Amino acid sequence: MTAVHLSGLTKSYGDRTILDGVSFDVEPGEFVSVIGPSGSGKSTVFNMIAGLDTPDSGIVEAPPCAYMPQKDLLFPWRTVLDNTTLGLEVRGMSKKQARVQAQKLFPAFGLEGYEKARPSELSGGMRQRAAMLRTVIQEREVLLLDEPFGALDSLTRTGMQAWLQEVWLDYRWTVLMITHDIREAVYLSDRVIVLSDKPAHVRRQVTVSLPRPRKLDVVTTPHFAALEAELMEVLIGSTGR
């Protein structure tokens, strides 16, 4: 049984057609990246999966999802621990119980010792790990990550990619991630879905058959380079240039 099933999604806003028959599936435990030109409707698709928007036509079948937006959106007046418990508190869990549950994950997320810190005291990478912890602690079947590392510098971003692969291998969440970074998509994913320019449809789905765990030097291998080149060719073609 698939974790996410999308079939023939269409969406227009006024006279602008954004989606034109987007269809794909995601299997349980799979890590799938979605790439495409800017403004091609990637976030619109995620909003539909999360139940924040509805298609004009088509089918969306997905369980309740945990959604991590591009910005970490940590509240500056709350401690790191209390930021990570926010979703649990909104769902009705007591603050005490939510803190106990969240604190168990702090070592795995590299945040141990920072429970009482404020977000302003954290590096960019640590803020993203806190935002990720806040997302996964909700124990949803599917994680939607919208450009989770887009605001980070190159070195921090590389470290976060390696970290995300490590914790994903431990927990085996079902992950859908939007990224504009082809190398990031290949390094992290089991499969990469390429959307066309709007009105968007799926141009290609590319399976990433690189063995796991993937070391950082995998990016220098001929197989990795060939996958990058294939995705770049499809992506450039999708913009009509």
pTM listed for this prediction: 0.92
pLDDT digits (tens, 9 = 90+) for 125-153: 999 999 999 998 988 989 999 998 887 88
pLDDT digits (tens, 9 = 90+) for 39-69: 889 999 999 999 999 999 999 999 999 999 8
CA angle 111–172–130, rounded 5-degree value? 20
| Separation CA 218–CA 209 (nearest Å) | 12
Strands (E), 170-220: 174-178, 191-195, 202-207
| Separation CA 51–CA 63 (nearest Å) | 10
Ranges of each domain in the chain: 1-64+143-241, 72-139
Q: Annotate 216-227 with b (16+ C-beta within 10 A) or e (fewer).
A: eeeeeeeebeeb
Q: Tell me the torsion sign for CA atoms 125, 41, 167, 62.
A: positive
State the fold for domain 1-64+143-241.
Rossmann fold (3.40.50)
**Of 15, 73, 44, 14, which Cα lies nearest the Cα of 201?**
44
Radius of gyration over alpha carbons of the chain, in Å?
18
**Of 221, 151, 152, which Cα lies nearest the Cα of 186?**
221
The whole-number pLDDT of residue 239 equals: 63
Q: Is residue 159 helix, strand or coil?
A: helix
Contacts 24+ apart (CB under 8 A), 22-28: 22/58, 22/195, 22/200, 22/201, 22/202, 23/58, 23/202, 24/193, 24/202, 24/205, 26/2, 26/142, 26/174, 26/176, 27/2, 27/3, 27/174, 28/1, 28/2, 28/3, 28/141, 28/174
Q: Is residue 84 helix, strand or coil?
A: helix
Would you say residue 212 has pLDDT above 70?
yes
